[in-house]
């Protein structure tokens, strides 16, 4: 099981938020620049991309440490390999995109950098799906039981209160003891 953590939580999912936010944002800023011609949007796209690539490199480092702890010849390892290779390709694409924009070139009205941003944003969605499959489909980095030892009574009381106050009583349909693994 992967071991890279920060504050007791897996590190890789904490770091992926940076590129998953900044890189698609750079595409939106590219579209705004294409629509308005305002250089501020081109600058925002460029610097969001710089931050996104930096964040991607940090996330990739944590993800690589996690990948090498996955069991060999497992489905999780195969999915992780696809996820990692997609991300490596995307970082390369965004690196080339940044090279096209270096200096004052980012203000030129060219289609290639915008297309590269759009392809990159779409690629991020595909790669994120594979990352989600590792967590939700394969159970990587998911705790198998709740850390509620000694708190069963409090948990049951909370769920009971939730059932009483809920406008949809079907939301809490089973006693809390059914859900707790102690």
Name which of 25-39, 89-103, 168-182 the model is least confident about.
168-182
Angstrom distance (rounded) from CA 133 to CA 125: 12
Residues 51-91: pLDDT tens digits?
999 999 999 999 999 999 899 999 999 999 999 999 999 99
Q: Which residue has the higher pLDDT, 42 or 7?
A: 42
pLDDT value at position 158?
63
| Placement of tokens 């406008």 in the chain | 167
Residues 143-177: pLDDT tens digits?
554 454 555 566 666 666 666 665 555 444 444 44
Name which of 4-18, 58-72, 93-107, 162-176 the model is least confident about.
162-176
Judge whether 89 lies within some domain: yes
Q: How many domains does the chain have?
A: 2
Judge whether 143 lies within some domain: no
Query: Domain containing 87: what range?
Result: 5-137
Angstrom distance (rounded) from CA 141 to CA 112: 38
pLDDT value at position 139?
82
Whether residues 166 and 110 fall in one domain: no
Grouping H, G, I as helix, E, B as strand and the rest as coil, residue 26 is helix
Mean pLDDT of 31-57: 95
Whether residues 46 and 90 fall in one domain: yes
Angstrom distance (rounded) from CA 164 to CA 149: 25
| pLDDT averaged over every residue in the chain | 83
Contact 23, 59 (CB under 8 A): no
């Amino acid at each position: 099981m992967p071991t890279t953590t920060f504050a007791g939580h897996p590190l890789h999912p904490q770091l992926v938020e940076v590129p998953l936010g900044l890189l698609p944002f750079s595409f939106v800023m590219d579209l705004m620049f294409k629509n308005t011609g305002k250089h501020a949007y081109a600058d925002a796209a460029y610097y969001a991309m710089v931050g996104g690539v930096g964040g991607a490199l940090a996330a990739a480092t944590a993800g690589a440490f996690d990948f090498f702890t996955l069991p060999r010849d497992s489905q999780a390892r195969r999915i992780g390999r696809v996820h990692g290779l997609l991300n490596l390709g995307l970082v390369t694409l965004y690196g080339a995109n940044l090279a096209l924009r270096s200096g004052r070139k980012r203000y030129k009205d060219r289609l290639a950098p915008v297309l590269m941003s759009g392809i990159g944003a779409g690629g991020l969605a595909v790669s994120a799906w594979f990352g989600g499959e590792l967590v939700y489909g394969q159970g990587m980095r998911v705790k198998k039981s709740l850390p509620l030892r000694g708190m069963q009574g409090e948990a049951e009381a909370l769920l009971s209160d939730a059932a009483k106050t809920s406008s949809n009583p079907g939301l809490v349909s089973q006693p809390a003891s059914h859900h707790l693994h102690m």
